[in-house]
Amino acid sequence: MRIRISGGRIIDPGRIDTVGDVVVENGKIRSVGPPDSEAADQVIDARNCLVVPGLIDVHVHLREPGHEYKETIASGAAAAVAGGFTAVCAMPNTNPVNDNAQVTRFILDRARAAGLARVYPVASITRGLKGEQLSEFAELKEAGAVAFSDDGRPVVGSRMMRRAMEYARGFDMPIVSHCEELDLAGDGVMNEGVVATRLGLAGIPNAAESIMVMRDIALAELTGARLHVCHVSCAESIAAIRAAKDRGVRVTAETAPHYFTLTEEAVAEYDTRAKMNPPLRTAADRQAVRQALADGTLDAIATDHAPHSILEKEVEFDQAANGIIGLETALPLSLRLVADGVLPLTDLIAKLTVTPARVFGLPCGLIPGGAADITVIDPQRTWTVDAERFASLSRNCPFDGWPVTGRAVLTMVDGRIVYEAPEA
Of 313-342, binders to ligand DOR (CB under 6 A) are: 322-323
> Known catalytic residue: 304?
yes
Which residue in the set 60, 165, 306, 327 belongs to the binding site for ligand DOR (CB under 6 A)? 306
Beta bridge partners of 300: 254
In single-letter form, the type of residue at position 238 comes to I
Contacts of 389 by beta carbon, 8 Å cutoff, 6+ apart: none
Binding of ligand DOR by 131 (CB under 6 A):
no
Give dist(CA 191, CA 402) in Å, integer.
23
Shortest distance, position 152 Cβ to ligand DOR, whole Å: 4
Q: What are phi and psi of 384, to 5 degrees?
A: -115, 130
Residue 221 half-sphere exposure toward CB, CA atoms < 13 A:
15
Interface with ligand DOR includes 61 (CB under 6 A)?
yes
Instruction: Name the active-site residue from 57, 304, 373, 378.
Output: 304
Is there binding between residue 150 and Zn ion (CB under 5 A)? no
CA distances from residue 274 to 271, 278, 313, 398, 424 in whole angstroms, order as listed: 6, 11, 10, 6, 29
Q: Which of residues 144-163 bind ligand DOR (CB under 6 A)?
A: 151-152
The DSSP symbol for 141 reads H
Of 178, 215, 258, 305, the one binding ligand DOR (CB under 6 A) is 178
Strand partners, 254: 300
| # of chain residues touching ligand DOR (CB under 6 A) | 10
Among 24, 251, 262, 276, binds ligand DOR (CB under 6 A): 276
Q: Are 148 and 168 in contact (CB under 8 A)?
A: yes
Query: Least separation, in Å, of the C-beta of 61 and ligand DOR?
Result: 4
Segment 163 to 222, residues that bind Zn ion, using CB under 5 A: 178
Of 102, 106, 97, 101, the residue nearest 73 (C-alpha): 106
Site for ligand DOR contains 93 (CB under 6 A): yes
Specify the stretch interacting with Zn ion by CB under 5 A; choose among 202-210, 248-256, 302-310, 402-410.
Answer: 302-310
- CB of residue 375 vs Zn ion: minimum separation in angstroms? 23
Q: What is the 8-class DSSP label of residue 10?
A: E
Q: What is the enclosing helix (H) or strand (E) of 238?
A: helix 235-247
Residue showing the smallest CB distance to ligand DOR in the complex: 323
Which residues are annotated as catalytic? Answer: 304
> Which residues of this protein are in contact with ligand DOR, per CB under 6 A?
61, 93, 151-152, 178, 276-277, 306, 322-323
> Which residues of this protein are in contact with Zn ion, per CB under 5 A?
151, 178, 230, 304
